[in-house]
Amino acid sequence: MEPEPQSNASDRPVAGVPVIESYLRGLPQTPGVYRMMNEDGDALYVGKAKNLAKRVSSYARPQRLGSRLHRMVAQTASMEFVGTHTEAEALLLEANLIKQLKPRYNILLRDDKSFPSILVTGDHPYPRVLKHRGAQTRAGEYFGPFASAWSVNQTLAVLQRAFLLRTCSDSVFASRTRPCLLYQIKRCAAPCVGRVDEAEYGALVAQAHAFLRGDSQRIQQNLARKMEQASDALAFEEAAGYRDRIRALTAVQSHQDINLAGIGEADVVAAHQAGGQTCIQVFFFRAGCNHGNRAYYPAHAREDGVDAVLEAFVGQFYAPRTPPPSVLLSHALPNQALVAEALSVLGGRRVQLAVPRRGDKKAVIQHALNNAREALSRRLSESALQRRLLDGLATAFDLDQAPERIEVYDNSHVSGTDAVGAMIVAGPEGLIKNAYRKFTIRGGEKGIAPGDDYAMMREVLTRRFSRALKEDPDRTLGQWPQLVLVDGGAGQLGVAVDVFQDLGVDDIAVAGIAKGPERNAGRERIFLPGRSPFALDARDPVLYFLQRLRDEAHRFAIGTHRAKRSAGLKKSPLDEIPGIGARRKKALLHHFGSARAVAEAGRTDLEAVEGISGAIANKIYEWFHPER
């Protein structure tokens, strides 16, 4: 889908622009599909591009976008990419992903209809080629899906020009007595009136099948040979017909490595190593259709070879899921037969592991390897940028060296209720989400006054580092940070310093980040022990980095608080009464209408409820009236 034309979108800075700009350096100028995701990992938009770098760069200038895409850019927290050989492949993959992910901002393609495909019927001696939607129940071969009716119509026009297949209905076909206009303009072979026999027409159908499967080169060569023969025989009108068919084939190539009918149900797993890291791309093919891909970056020692990493990945990847009948690999596994046997047991059917050496499957593996290489290149580039940001942070904070682990803390509550603390973690590879932690504020014996952010921060930091001292006193597990950031100013910083002094921790740098006047981003003040508050330049990449860390901590804290509050709203006082199960609770609520009415009811009223005996009624009454 193309970006919308310029509109009256706001010229104010858009939150997602730095995210998009961070991907631009590593993007190739080749066709592909890109996905924009929000902070929860949900797809916002799936688009295709003839030139990935050029298309994605257009989103870094939101003032040129329409209001809808302007909002989309503002919500973008991450992106994913997959390269393709041609823009046509990108179009088909875009359709597959939109159908699977249903992104919010792909509104032009979202409807209740299925994506169209092309059907070459198989229930008539002279097959018909037509556009098809819905369940594939009619006999014949289906090709697609296609992203739009326009793309189907375009391909149908090519099929008519190149292979002269009929498009009329069976009833029209049966009633024709002379050729229609399509025969006159060389768009149909007129099998309805016997201008070609069944064998000749069947040969045209076979050529169309081969074309739709991607074997257009052989067909073109065959037509070129026939054109030369007709020309040599001075049959120039016949030669011109072959020429027109060749031009039609050239206009729209249908070689599709994205959808390969020969693959069926299979996963394609390809690994690429560079810089001591490995990227593994997994493509999911179902019924010959690509249902998307995902990149994985398993942690491993630098000396581990790609085959060993791939074998460990395959075992762990399929442990919680059923494998398909076929798994195509880029590298042979050290214990491939054993892994295949284990997957067969797991799936309850024979699972074949194969390393294709030739043909379409080899091409698919190469395609996956290209995507793995490009994804790893982007990741290494992002890691280098992250390292520069950490170095810049060390310079700004006067640290001895760049921190390998940064922990950021924030609290969230509403007037002191449902208070929670949150910790996020970042390092050279970016955010480490599996290290995030949530803290339910307990308050201790003395309790915490509603809204006392200082006391909440003290509790969170005390619990976090008291546990670290107990579980990893020698700091050998890699769970100790070199820098702690707290959301707030001098007060929050003072709390953090006091906690570390009380615990005897004196080698962790700590800083506070206070929002600017009127909470404006770009005017934050930074607080460090023993230094006057200072601000970084509004365009300093280190400031953007700190803002992202603070915003991520805030997002995580608010999400945790909302989940806790929602869970609390679903609780009922009746849940805490011993002996009151779901059935009695339902009967009480149906009889009285609310838990409050149950609490105010007398013993006699309670006994009137179905399933509530005198003893249970007394228990309920005494639970709500202990003083009586």
Q: pLDDT, tens digit, for every residue of 605-614?
A: 888 888 888 8
Q: Supply 125's token pair.
A: 């001696």
Residue 331 has pLDDT above 90, yes or no: yes
Separation between Cα atoms, residue 450 and residue 569, nearest integer Å:
19
Taking CA atoms, 468 is separated from 59, 492, 493, 511, in Å, by 43, 21, 20, 20
For 514-537, what is the mean pLDDT?
Answer: 80
Residue type at 224?
A: A
Rounded to whole angstroms, the Cα distance separating 328 from 324 reads 10
Q: How far is CA 243 from the centre of its chain?
A: 45
Q: What are phi and psi of 468, to 5 degrees?
A: -65, -40
Alpha-carbon gap, residue 370 to 330, rounded angstroms: 11
What are the backbone angles phi and psi of residue 599, rounded to the nearest 5°?
A: -65, -30
Cα 201 from Cα 204, distance rounded (Å) = 5
The tokens of 261 are what? Answer: 């009918």
For 406-558, give the CATH class. Answer: alpha beta
Q: Residue 7's pLDDT band (boundaries 50, 70, 90)?
A: very low
Query: Pairing between strand 509-514 and 483-487?
Result: parallel
Contact call for residues 81 and 52 (beta carbons, < 8 A):
yes
Which H/E stretch holds residue 280? strand 277-286
Angle at 109 between CA 103 and CA 111, to 5 degrees: 90
- Euclidean distance between CA atoms 248 and 219, whole angstroms: 12
* Section 619-624 average pLDDT: 83
Mean pLDDT of 554-571: 74
* pLDDT value of position 282: 84
Question: Which residues are registered as beta bridge partners of 266?
Answer: 285, 326
Q: What is the largest CA-CA distance in the chain?
A: 115
The answer, yes or no, to whether residue 479 has pLDDT greater than 50, is yes
pTM over 0.75: no
Return the half-sphere exposure (C-beta side, CA atoms, 13 A cut-off) of residue 46.
23
Q: CA 164, 170, 171, 176 torsion: positive or negative?
A: positive
- Of 20, 49, 45, 22, the closest CA to residue 33 belongs to 49
From start to end of 399-477, where are the E strands?
406-414, 417-427, 430-431, 437-440
Residue 307's identity, in one-letter code, is D
In Å, how far are 39, 458, 462 from 413, measured between CA atoms?
21, 15, 19
- pLDDT for 452 equals 82
Residue 465's pLDDT is 94
Q: Name beta bridge partners: 281.
A: 270, 295
State what percent of residues in the chain have pLDDT above 70: 83
CATH architecture of 573-624: Orthogonal Bundle (1.10)
pLDDT range class, residue 208, cuts 50, 70, 90:
confident
Q: How far is CA 390 from the centre of its chain?
A: 27
Q: If we measure between CA atoms, which residue out of 33, 101, 605 comes closest to residue 374?
A: 33
Cβ(347)–Cβ(326) under 8 Å?
no
Place of tokens 């008519």: 160
Question: Backbone phi, then psi, for 409, in 5-degree steps?
Answer: -120, 140
Q: Which CATH superfamily is domain 17-101 in?
A: GIY-YIG endonuclease (3.40.1440.10)
Return the beta strands (E) in 507-574 as ranges: 509-514, 525-527
What are the boundaries of each domain within the chain?
A: 17-101, 117-251, 266-377, 406-558, 573-624
- Indicate the DSSP class of residue 283: E
**Cβ contacts of residue 537 below 8 Å, gap of 6+?**
543
Tokens of 40: 């929860």
Chain centre distance of CA 248: 37
Sequence-ordered list of residues with C-beta below 8 angstroms from that of 210, at least 6 positions apart, any chain: 216, 218, 219
Looking at per-residue pLDDT, the higher value among 188 and 14 belongs to 188
DSSP string for residues in 392-412: HHHHHTT-SS--S-EEEEEEE
How far from 90 is each of 36, 49, 50, 258, CA to CA, in Å? 16, 7, 8, 8
Residue 216: which of 147, 224, 237 has the closest Cα? 224
Assign domain 266-377 to its CATH superfamily: UvrC, RNAse H endonuclease domain (3.30.420.340)
| Average pLDDT of every residue of the chain | 80
For residue 253, what pLDDT band results from cuts at 50, 70 and 90? Answer: very low
> For 382-434, what is each residue's pLDDT tens digit?
788 888 999 999 999 999 899 999 999 998 876 656 788 899 999 988 888 88
- C-alpha 484, offset from chain centre: 31
Confidence of residue 627 (pLDDT cuts 50, 70, 90): low
Each residue's pLDDT tens digit, 90-106: 766 776 786 677 787 76
Has residue 222 got a pLDDT over 80? no
Which pLDDT score is estimated for 2?
A: 47
CA 447, CA 477: separation in Å to the nearest integer? 33
406-558 has the same fold as 266-377: yes
Q: Which residue has the tokens 């022990």?
A: 529
d(CA 93, CA 80): 13
Binning pLDDT at 50, 70 and 90, where does residue 13 land?
low
